[in-house]
């Protein structure tokens, strides 16, 4: 019997990268679950069918399952039939702006959908590693309470305790999360609980800005991809508050997939990791404009909205020291500049 991987959200940025990496580099037989719900959440610009078709075309033996993770009976049946060697759960409603307009869809997808998968795994394959793509939004707006200093093009932490970024010990309680953040907290804690209570090999990856050339970036989700698209198409990018100096760390989807592979190879129970690009791969919006302009030769058109998004982080980058300690063979391989270069090339090839 060969190794079988089940990936939810397989047509999305991270899911598709995981499918390719595990199939080509690790020899897994890959089953993907996706129903193009991103197009429902974000409209035609969020459509991921092109990515599904790419996987079916380029990955021999890739199996696509048109299934909504909210379909409990369908999820239970699929996992029971497959009994996968590992499950990587990347499907989600990923926007905190969108969540406020569709609270039931958001919670049912993010929280209940995750529970459906966890319980299916417990019943059918409790020894199989379960990797959950969580989010840094589980910390809510609490990172905004850290003392900051304003630099010329970005905000940064003034408190030396956070010189390497936000650690996993940072509180997720008593802060404003957005409804999206709250639904992801529910799923995050449930994944930990199935690890601790039932002894299953599970982990939550609290991602920052996950990006790469296969991202269908839209204004409400997919910061760098959407910024590059605006630059290339000459459309106006809207900056929401904080003087455009708000900071995010960006991690290439390939480095996300590589960490997931490391965990599947040496799993732990109920673990949590802050999965981001770290300080070297952090950028403000203003700095991202400059790098993108240098790659495209086009001036970035933007307007400034003097109102930040609800619960938005002023400065956030991940402390990667726990990840490196637990998995010393893993590290960031794709720099911020290289990632942006790939995104530029990808959008050019699609136009």
What average pLDDT does the segment 219-238 reach? 91
Q: Is 71 helix (H, G, I), strand (E, B) or coil?
A: coil
Question: Whole-structure pTM over 0.85, yes or no?
Answer: yes
What b/e sequence results for 129-168 when a residue is b if at least 16 CB atoms lie within 10 Å of its CB, and e otherwise? bbbbbbbbbbbbbbbbebebeeeebbbbbeeeebeebbeb
- For residue 311, pLDDT beyond 80: no
Q: In this structure, what token pair is assigned to residue 235?
A: 């459309």
Q: Quick one: pLDDT at residue 219?
A: 83
Mean pLDDT across the chain = 95
% of the chain surpassing 90 pLDDT: 87
Give the other-Cβ count within 10 Å of 299's Cβ: 10
Q: Quick one: pLDDT at residue 40?
A: 82
- Name, in order, each residue with C-beta under 8 angstroms of 263's C-beta and a sequence gap of 6 or more: 129, 131, 203, 271, 327
> pLDDT confidence of 98, banded at 50, 70, 90?
confident
Q: In this structure, what token pair is assigned to residue 34?
A: 């996706």
> pLDDT confidence of 264, banded at 50, 70, 90?
very high
Residue 294 burial by CB count (10 A; 0-12/13-18/19+): exposed, middle or buried?
exposed
Per domain, the residue ranges of the chain are 4-350
Instruction: Dump pLDDT digits (tens) for 101-135.
Output: 999 999 999 999 999 999 999 999 999 999 999 99
Residue 307 burial by CB count (10 A; 0-12/13-18/19+): exposed, middle or buried?
exposed
- For residue 217, pLDDT beyond 80: no
Q: Quick one: pLDDT at residue 221?
A: 72
Task: Residue 243: name the closest of 176, 150, 156, 316 by CA.
Answer: 150
Contact yes or no for 307/267 (Cβ under 8 A): no
The CATH superfamily assigned to 4-350 is NAD(P)-binding Rossmann-like Domain (3.40.50.720)
Q: In this structure, what token pair is assigned to residue 279?
A: 């300080």
């Amino acid at each position: 019997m060969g190794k079988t991987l089940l990936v939810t959200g397989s047509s999305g940025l991270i899911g598709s990268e995981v499918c390719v990496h595990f199939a080509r580099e690790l020899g897994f037989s890959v089953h993907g679950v996706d129903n193009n719900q991103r197009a429902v959440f974000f409209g035609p610009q969020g459509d991921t069918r092109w990515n599904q078709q790419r996987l079916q075309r380029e990955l021999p033996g890739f199996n696509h399952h048109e299934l909504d993770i909210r379909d409990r009976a369908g999820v239970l049946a699929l996992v029971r039939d497959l009994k996968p060697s590992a499950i990587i759960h990347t499907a989600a409603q990923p926007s905190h702006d969108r969540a406020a307009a569709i609270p039931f869809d958001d919670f049912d997808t993010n929280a209940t959908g995750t529970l459906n998968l966890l319980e299916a795994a417990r019943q059918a394959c409790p020894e199989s590693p379960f990797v959950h793509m969580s989010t840094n939004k589980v910390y809510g707006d609490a990172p905004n309470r850290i003392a900051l200093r304003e630099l010329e093009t970005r905000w940064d932490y003034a408190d030396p305790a956070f010189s390497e970024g936000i650690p996993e010990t940072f509180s997720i309680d008593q802060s404003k999360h957005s409804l999206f953040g709250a639904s992801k907290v529910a799923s995050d804690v449930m994944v930990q609980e199935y690890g601790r209570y039932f002894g299953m090999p599970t982990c939550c990856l609290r991602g920052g800005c996950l990006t790469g050339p296969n991202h269908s970036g839209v204004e409400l989700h997919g910061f760098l991809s959407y910024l590059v698209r605006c630059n290339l198409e000459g459309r106006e990018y809207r900056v929401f508050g904080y003087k455009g100096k708000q900071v995010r760390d960006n991690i290439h989807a390939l480095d996300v997939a590589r960490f997931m592979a490391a965990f599947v190879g040496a799993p732990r129970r109920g673990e949590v990791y802050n999965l981001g690009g770290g300080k070297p791969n952090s950028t403000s919006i203003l700095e991202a404009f400059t790098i993108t302009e240098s790659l495209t030769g086009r001036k970035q058109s933007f307007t400034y909205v003097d109102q930040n998004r609800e619960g938005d982080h002023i400065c956030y980058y991940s402390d990667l020291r726990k990840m490196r300690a637990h998995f010393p063979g893993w590290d960031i391989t794709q720099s911020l500049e290289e990632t942006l270069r790939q995104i530029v090339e990808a959008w050019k090839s699609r136009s």
